[in-house]
Chains A and B, each alone.
Chain A
Amino acid sequence: MPSKTSAPKAPNAPKPLHQARHGRLLLGLAALLAVTFFLALFLGRYPSPPWLPPSLLADDRVAQSLVWNLRLPRALLAILVGASLSASGTVLQLLFRNPLVEPGFLGVSQGAAFGASLAFVMLGGAVAAVQGLAALFALIGLALAVFLARRIRYGGWVLRLVLSGIAVSALFAAGVGLMKYAADPLKQLPDIVFWLLGGLWGSGWGQFWLILAVSLPCLTLLIVLRWRLDLLSLEEATARSLGVGERSERLLVLLAAVLPVAAATAIAGIIGWVGLIIPQLARRLSGASSRTSLPLAMLLGALFLLVTDTLARTLTSGEIPLGILTALLGALLFLWVMTLPETKEVGK
């Protein structure tokens, strides 16, 4: 036996400190999210900037309708989309063993972009047509990427999916380029460009229920399976020797991670950076294991998107596309956290 044996731990040893810290972090963020949510309902330009006095809700019909039919579903949608993108980013990064993977890379983002631009150019750009075609092509992009990955005779499961995802995205990106080229430069092109930058304007309860119906089951499944997700990030030989990571399990997790993104992208356009940065932040704050980092990423993502969307609609009299703000604030946040001194390493 090795000489360096240590006394076995008492079974009721206290939980490590970082678990308690993680719990406090989650609670604090949840409280912050609740406060932000409440603020988001009242911040805006009616009746005058920067906010709507709550007393107005008692008898002002316009204020009631504004809060109930526009701001409430939009704030809920922001929370849902933020949580979905971040959860999906976390899971796909694990599944592909690559911390630089974005949720939309499997043909979903570019597929949706192509569907939306097609609707703008061919179908006149009605909201339902744009969102419908974006959803349809996001799913076609995903299906194509998964299908082609099975036909590639090169490399393992991960490499094949990455390759086919890149190829499918490039195909649809070419399609988007074609649509932009064919679009009327004065009417249709600005619409396409604006949509591609992402945003939650024009979303109401209908869109919220739709996304909820897709996201809720998927995110619940991911949360429940989150310890197994870590196992899927191991190399194939190791994972299989541990009896996990058969193709059906990977496919189930993949779909649960990508479907909410397809739905969110169809409604809100391409909202970049959230799904890439928030998982990194969460891992940085709570450690790599998705037992802690997945719930944290979902909360952080929800908060981040709610804040950016509220800024997007209140900062100027118009609407700043959400994608611009998520990229700007996301990159700043990312740089700040990544340059913080490391404090968590314990032991020698």
Chain B
Amino acid sequence: MIALEAKKLCAGYPPRGTVLWEVDLDLPAGQVTAILGPNGSGKTTLLHALIGLAPRSSGEVRFSGKLLQDYTRRELSRHVGLVPQEERVAFEFTVLEYVLFGRAPHLGPLQTPGREDVEIAHQALARTGVEALHERRLPSLSGGERQLVVIARALAQEPQVLLLDEPTAHLDLGNHGRLRSLLRELARKGTAICFTAHDPNFAASCADRLLLIRGGRVVAEGPLRQTFQESLLSEVYGIPLRVLRREGWPLLVES
């Protein structure tokens, strides 16, 4: 089942205008899709366009077969979660208070989080492995802890589609592994996952499908096997690259 799909999507933020050109992308439920591309290739804009944040100039995005613009923001927020890159929070909320923000889509404008919401927030923290931090204040966290807390906030939203912008940016190697198993576990339970990444090797170790993008245009899209190829990746990054095999895993290196 395709959870989220884009067809001939052109989008971009003013004042630059359109930076994405005719992107076709399927995010199937239960699969992890990684978006790879050099800096400035439009990865973040694509992620934002998939959730209706970046203005769309043409083409369409559908969630569960229905056009994105036919959902209210509130409806959509119950189904699609976003983990932005480098989220800055201006106030010293506690970790638990922050993760509870993820319950907003499920609460009415005058409601406040109840016991059940607190319970869900605690579970989300446990799933990302940072439950022990729940009383700490956000500014006291390390970059990696913070990233895991932001992911927990998106999990508390209980989304069917989870979009993550550079989720590995602040994580050390141990946390890479933790994030990988978390994303695989979410996918196994039926969530459609899509993340952007700088590191092709992390993407290859975690994703089922790849979207390769350069200059706002899709170079290739499809299952990892067909898309994690020397020729395609070299074209995307503009330098010669080689794919080695190590214990069955592909490993991309400069040649």
Is the CB of A314 closer than 8 A to any CB of chain B? Answer: no
Is the CB of B122 closer than 8 A to any CB of chain A? Answer: yes
- What 7 pairs across the A-B complex have the smallest Cβ distances? A243-B77, A2-B129, A241-B82, A243-B74, A288-B91, A97-B90, A4-B129
5 A-B contacts (beta carbon < 8 Å):
A227-B112, A233-B89, A237-B53, A243-B74, A347-B136
Is the CB of B217 closer than 8 A to any CB of chain A? Answer: no
Residues of B within 8 A of A243 (CB): 72-78, 104-105
Is the CB of B127 closer than 8 A to any CB of chain A? Answer: yes
Interface segment, one of A8-16, A43-51, A75-83, A298-306? A8-16
Within 8 A of B (CB), among A303-348: 345-348
Closest beta carbon of chain A to B147's beta carbon, Å:
13
Within 8 A of A (CB), among B99-145: 101-102, 104-105, 109-113, 115-116, 118-119, 122-123, 126-137, 140
Interface residues of chain B, those whose CB is within 8 Å of chain A, are 14-15, 48, 51, 53, 72-78, 80-82, 84, 87-94, 97, 101-102, 104-105, 109-113, 115-116, 118-119, 122-123, 126-137, 140, 157, 178, 181-182, 185
Number of interface residues of A (CB under 8 A): 41
Residues of A within 8 A of B112 (CB): 227, 291
In the docked arrangement, what's the CA distance between A171 and B140, Å? Answer: 41
Q: Is the beta-carbon distance between B73 and A240 smaller than 8 angstroms?
A: yes
Q: Is the beta-carbon distance between B109 and A225 smaller than 8 angstroms?
A: yes
In the docked arrangement, what's the CA distance between A288 and B92, Å? Answer: 5
Given contacts A1-B127, A6-B126, A243-B105, 7 further A-B contacts (CB under 8 A): A4-B130, A153-B15, A228-B109, A235-B89, A241-B81, A243-B77, A287-B94
Q: Is the beta-carbon distance between B126 and A8 smaller than 8 angstroms?
A: yes
Q: Is the beta-carbon distance between A16 and B119 smaller than 8 angstroms?
A: no
Closest beta carbon of chain B to A338's beta carbon, Å:
13
Q: Is the beta-carbon distance between B101 and A231 smaller than 8 angstroms?
A: yes
Is the CB of A5 closer than 8 A to any CB of chain B? Answer: yes
Q: What 0/1 readout, one digit per residue, does chain A (1-30) give for beta carbons within 8 Å of chain B?
A: 111111011010000100000000000000
